[in-house]
Amino acid sequence: MIFRVSEAESYRQWRNDEDADMGSLLARLSGAVPPSEAMRAGTAFHKALEDAKDGEADTLEAEGYRFIIIADITLALPSIREVRAYKDYGGITITGKLDVLDGRRVEDHKTTAQFNPDHYLEGFQWRYYLDLFGADCFRWNVFELKPLDEPRLYEVRGFHQLEQWRYPSMERDCRDLAIDLAAFAADHMPERRIQCAA
C-alpha cells in the first residue's frame, strides 16, 4: 500500500479525536473532498513561492491569485525545491514532497488564517519528512493570509517560523503509524487492498 504523508496525518488526527467522523476521514483518504477556497489559495501561494526570484517583492502571483505582502518576511529559497521521496515501512510505502531542502534541514511552506503553533508541532508531517529525506531539522514557514474584497486577492499579513528536530525513536513512531493506517485501510477501504495487490 502507498500513502501520502498528508493521508497519514489525517488518519492520526482522526484516530486521536474520539468525536471525529469516520465518513469524513474516508472521504479525505479517497480524494472525494474537493479543495476549499483556502486550499486553492494556499496551493497558488506555494506556486508563487516556487517561482519566486531572488530579491524583494511586494506582491506575488500564481494561478490567477495575487498576494500583497505587508508582513516583514525574510526568506531564503534554496535551489533544491519540490522533491519527492518514498520510504518503505514494513511493506507500507509513505511518500512526501518537500518544499525546500537546505542541507540537512527540510522546510515546508504553510498558509493559514490564524497561526496556531501546536497544530504543527503535534503532527506527524515533520517526523515523516525528516525520516524520508534523512534530515535533522524541520522548519515551517507559516504565512497568514487574509482574503480581500476582490476575488483571488489576498494579503500576507503575518509570517512565523517553527522548528522541530529528529529524535531517537522517530523512525519507529513513523513505522507504527504507517502500519496502523494500513490496517485501517485494509478494513475500511477495499480499493487500497486492490492497490496493494497490483
Coil, strand or helix at 132: helix
Name the residue type at position 141: N
Per residue in 139-186, pLDDT (tens digit) is 999 999 999 999 999 999 999 999 999 999 999 999 999 999 999 999
Residue 34 lies inside a defined structural domain of this protein? no
pTM, rounded to two decimals: 0.89
For the cut 50, the answer to whether the pLDDT of residue 86 exceeds it is yes
- What pLDDT, on the 0 to 100 scale, is given for residue 192? 66
H helices within the chain, ranges in order? 5-15, 22-29, 37-51, 117-121, 125-133, 170-188, 190-197
Q: Which residues pair with 86 in a beta bridge?
A: 95
Rg (CA), the chain: 18
Helix (H) / strand (E) element for 63: namely none
Average pLDDT of the chain?
91
Name the residue type at position 120: Y
Residue 119 lies inside a defined structural domain of this protein? yes
Residue 38 lies inside a defined structural domain of this protein? no
What is the distance between the alpha carbons of residues 162 and 141, in angstroms, rounded to a whole number?
7
For the cut 50, the answer to whether the pLDDT of residue 48 exceeds it is yes
Per residue in 88-110, pLDDT (tens digit) is 999 999 999 998 898 999 999 99
What is the distance between the alpha carbons of residues 149 and 128, in angstroms, rounded to a whole number?
38
Residue 13 lies inside a defined structural domain of this protein? yes
Strands (DSSP E) contained in 18-152 are 59-62, 65-69, 81-89, 92-102, 105-112, 137-147
Residue 105 lies inside a defined structural domain of this protein? yes
Residue 102 lies inside a defined structural domain of this protein? yes
Residue 51 lies inside a defined structural domain of this protein? no
Q: How many domains, in total, are found in the chain?
A: 1
Cell readout for 111 is 498558509
The domain in which residue 126 lies consists of 2-19+71-197
